[in-house]
Structure 1
């Protein structure tokens, strides 16, 4: 799991200083990654060897020195960058910039037109111990971000891994085409805390089955576009014969027992699926 927080503000407002202070403090709680909006400047110029590789049409170029690894890729965005950090098993991501994102934000100065601001501070604010403690508390309170790779890494770090003979995963995605209907996106809303309690119950009960060593379940909320992931289930078992029935039971129970409502947006209409199934 990874917690994400963003720092936004105008140029020379003290964003980098605040991000650096936050990274220093959060590193005491876990591994930290950062993402910075760099504008239009080019970090991989054409006169370098890696720049020539990139300009020749490579979709991704990785440069390795004696102490650093840097990757350059095409058509990446903020969400891709955060998923890359999460895939690496990092605990925190601190984002500098991207004021138009939906991320929780610490806003510096009188920056307007930004959403999800959880704290406002003066430009070039004095960074003292009390402030950094407050910022760390805010970061720790943010919702967890997961990727499938991050969940698999979590299982591999489990002390029971020496007993594991198989790891199986289930990924539910937004199906775009169903017959002649075309779904543009889905919106999921959890009824909390009951939804989390239901997922924990499913996880705990399946984990009690013979040969099942670990069960992880993550169901996303909010708007999810066609083709994107909705739910991840990762199960570790001693043998493969125990694995597949447990995976099947887990997803069927998530759909049946967890109070997670689904709104569907098609080309013609939008509707809550729960309402339609009970009419």
Structure 2
């Protein structure tokens, strides 16, 4: 799922721009949006769903004849994006959240914004040429994946009718190792070689007997203890072909893909490949 954010001052034309992006991106796939609503309460305490929520329900879903609305106590942007990604959407357009690390279109002279890929005047006329240019920039953004999104993608493969099993592997940041606490890890890909290596591993495993589809996604940047690092999803005709393929995939990723790992513990921080090199030379 490709994600972009639109930020600017109030009445700068953010909603008009988001609407234009949604209309045009929907030609290329399914689109979801996230809107920063400040401190407004949408689920009033006077409604039945509001009473359920105030009674202590963690999630409340209201269903009408034309809509399904979900209210949750988890109001984090990352959680909202993961929910959209889990649905198998192709794009997410976020209105607001200027403090996020998302790639951004900035309206007006708003300053102190990170990861800006386009800046434009407030309330500009969204003519066809400008809209097409912005859509092109959105299509060029990196993909965000969740495990559920990858499983959905595998299920859409036309070969899935031959599958008897779908298996997944999720690598997470281990917090406790040898009585030492790891707070977080940082991953850095050496591109384009890293992507080429992952593609090669995927294609070679797909050629094995009984393997129908292989998807691999390895995250980069800082990942906190307990959070996900890498996803592997494989569809196979039989379970006897599935489990060896999953094991081979993760071992080959660790051995062949130039992805560097920096570890942050209570005592120190270090690049793991440097430490392993020092041990071999000792």
Normalised TM-score (structure 1)? 0.99
Return the alpha-carbon distance in structure 2 between the equivalents of residues 190 and 233 of structure 1. Answer: 17
Q: What is the distance in 2 between the residues matched to 1:174 and 1:125?
A: 45
Equivalent residue for 1:127?
126
**1:266 Cα deviation (Å)?**
0.8
Deviations 1:30-76 (Å, cap 9, x if unpaired)? Answer: 00000000000100000000000000000000000000000000023
Residues 142-195 of structure 1 show CA distances to partners (whole Å, capped at 9, x for unaligned) of 000000000000010100011000000000000111122111111000000100
What CA deviation, in whole Å up to 9, does each residue of 1:71-100 have, x standing for no partner?
000023100000100100000000000000
3-state DSSP of counterpart to 2:16: helix
SS in 2 for 1:44: coil
Does residue 46 in structure 1 map to residue 45 in structure 2? yes
Deviation at 1:240, TM superposition (A): 0.4
Q: Please, which runs of 5 or more residues in structure 1 have no aligned partner? A: none
2:167 matches 1:168: yes
Q: 2-side partners of 1:173 and 1:82: how far apart? A: 19
Whole-angstrom CA distance in 1 between matches of 2:97 and 2:10: 13
Deviation at 1:29, TM superposition (A): 0.5
Matches within 5 A, 1:148-159: 148-159=147-158
CA deviations on 1:237-279 (whole Å, 9 max, x unpaired) are: 0000111011000000000000000001111111100111111
| 1:1-279 equivalent positions in 2, closer than 5 A | 2-279=1-278
Distance 2:131 2:269 in 1: 44
Query: 3-state SS of the aligned residue for 1:144?
Result: coil
Per-residue deviation at 1:216?
Answer: 0.5
Q: Distance in 1 between matches of 2:28 and 2:233?
A: 25
Shift of 1:126: 1.2
TM-score by length of 2: 0.98
Distance 2:93 2:199 in 1: 29
Q: What secondary structure sits across from 1:200 in the alignment?
A: helix
Return the alpha-carbon distance in structure 2 between the equivalents of residues 163 and 273 of structure 1. 41
Query: 2:219 and 2:105 mapped to 1: Cα distance?
Result: 24
d(CA) in 2 for partners of 1:8 and 1:171? 34
Deviation at 1:202, TM superposition (A): 0.5
Tell me the secondary structure at the aligned position of residue 102 of structure 2: coil
Moved over 6 A (4+): none
263-272 or 48-57: which moved more? 263-272
SS of the equivalent of 1:76 reads coil
Q: Distance in 2 between matches of 1:122 and 1:208?
A: 51
Residue 212 of structure 1 and its aligned partner are, at CA, apart by 0.6
* Separation (CA, whole Å) in 1 of partners of 2:221 and 2:83: 21
> For residues 60 and 144 of structure 1, what CA distance do their matches in structure 2 show?
28
